[in-house]
Amino acid sequence: MVTVEQAEELILNNAGDYGAEIILFNESLGRVLAETIKADRDLPPFNRVSMDGIAIKFADFEQGIKTFKIIGIQAAGDAPVNATQPGECVEIMTGAALPGAVDTVIRYEDLEISDGKATLQIGDIKKGQNIHFRGADRREGDIVLTPGRVITPAVISMVASVGETELRVKRKPRVVIVSSGDELVDVAAKPSPYQIRRSNNYMVKAVLAGLGIDAAMVHIPDEPEAIKSTLQQCLVNFDVLLLSGGISMGKFDYIPQVLKDLQFEQIFHKVQQRPGKPFWFGKHENGVVVFAFPGNPVATFMCTQRYFIPWLNKTLGAESKPAVYAALNEDIAFEPALQYFLQVKLSFGDDGRLFATPVEGNGSGDFANLADTDAFMELPLNKNEFKKGEVYRVWMFNQQ
């Protein structure tokens, strides 16, 4: 039996790398960038007017000129209209490139315009105002994005602005979700009084869908030969096997033995935690990784969040997310010498504090309350009593 920290370390030491692929930039949301993106021009590429109004020479204003002759109008996208003579101005629009002869922009709200002339209505003007200067944000050739960047809408905007129509992103692993257990029937089926419906596989598939992974699903019966032939096929067609069930002490828990027969190396079996103690993790010599989670829904969900997602992020080279901490909102006691992952609902106090309120059911088999929670709180192993106000790390779920 390993500790949670040991399990995490062993899992991260077995992160994979499935290479990279080129995709369209506008289909890259959520992917992990596998190249460096540079600015192809200065950002902004010119002295960009940021208010509608007129552009003047500040020296004119300093010399007491208050009324300017409008010698032309310049829309965004137009070539610059120069106003070179004293007292001249250009009527100019947001987004336009500031002409070289002028240096200051006065917005319409601060002007009165009539007979082709604009008169200042304010006396407080700063040189260079309402201009977003060329290269103020980035210089041509500057690195704007680096490998490992998770692609968000703002990243897509940046990529578009520098003209990258295609992006090199990390390739995702091919994942199959393997459910097991003869007591499980299909969702559409009518279970016998001693059966229940399969649900873990759909839950894990949804978690992975939220991560952009379209996982396959397969169900195996509690029968060693059938398990063996199915897993053998999976070994050929997938990079990751996510199993749920069949790995405890039960007489019909054949999976660990079958995995060994198939030349998977067991990296660990059992973690000092609740839920999820029977968790089995291993790897095949061909590189295929197996996460075999216990069959109870809360354990499967918790292990997916706590172990699979960090493995995936490391595998994709994604920038790591900062740890989140919350204050326990109720006293909790927990006896066994296991790391306890408490189901909690998070809330933000208006003092900026994050609170975690336990939403506990009837032990790890209960998933009826799981839908009401949004994180697991990882309580330390070396304590049995946890007081309201104490702060511990929480693992927020990927909800979509």
Tokens of 240: 């990751």
Distance between CA atoms of residues 57 and 19, nearest Å: 55
Q: Which of 1, 59, 73, 143 binds its own copies (CB under 8 A)?
A: 73
Kindly tell me which residue out of 301, 307, 308, 340 binds its own copies, with binding defined by CB under 8 A.
301
By CB under 8 A, residue 366 contacts its own copies: yes
| Backbone φ and ψ of 56, nearest 5° | -130, 170
CA 96 to chain centre: 36
Minimal distance, residue 241 CB to its own copies, in Å:
19
Contact range with its own copies by CB under 8 A, out of 2-10, 90-98, 233-241, 310-318: 90-98
Residue nearer to its own copies on the CB measure, 173 or 245 = 245
**Is residue 19 within 8 Å of residue 96, measured between CB atoms?**
no
Residue span 200-239 as binding mask against its own copies, x where in contact by CB under 8 A, dash where not: x-xxxxxx-xx-----------x-----------------
Site string for its own copies, 135-174 (x = CB under 8 A): -xxx-----xx---xx-xxxxxxx-xxxxxx---------
Q: Which is nearer to its own copies, 236 or 249 (CB)?
A: 249
Q: Is 10 in the site for its own copies (CB under 8 A)?
A: no
Nearest approach in angstroms of CB 234 to its own copies is: 20
Residue 7 Cα to chain centre, angstroms: 23
Residues counted in the chain: 400
Site size for its own copies (CB under 8 A): 119
Can you tell me the distance from the alpha carbon of 212 to that of 206, in angstroms, rounded to the nearest whole number?
10
Record the tokens describing residue 396, joined without a space.
């927020």
Among 43, 56, 177, 303, binds its own copies (CB under 8 A): 43
Spatial distance between the Cα atoms of 126 and 104, rounded to a whole number of angstroms: 8
Nearer to its own copies, 250 or 287 (CB): 250
CA separation for the pair 375, 147 (Å, rounded): 29
**Interface with its own copies includes 122 (CB under 8 A)?**
no
What is the β-pairing status of strands 391-396 and 324-328? antiparallel
Contacts of 115 by beta carbon, 8 Å cutoff, 6+ apart: none
Is residue 114 within the footprint of its own copies (CB under 8 A)? Answer: no
Positive or negative, the CA dihedral 102, 108, 109, 115 is positive
91 binds its own copies (CB under 8 A): yes
- Residue in 143, 196, 216, 333 binding its own copies, rule: CB under 8 A: 196
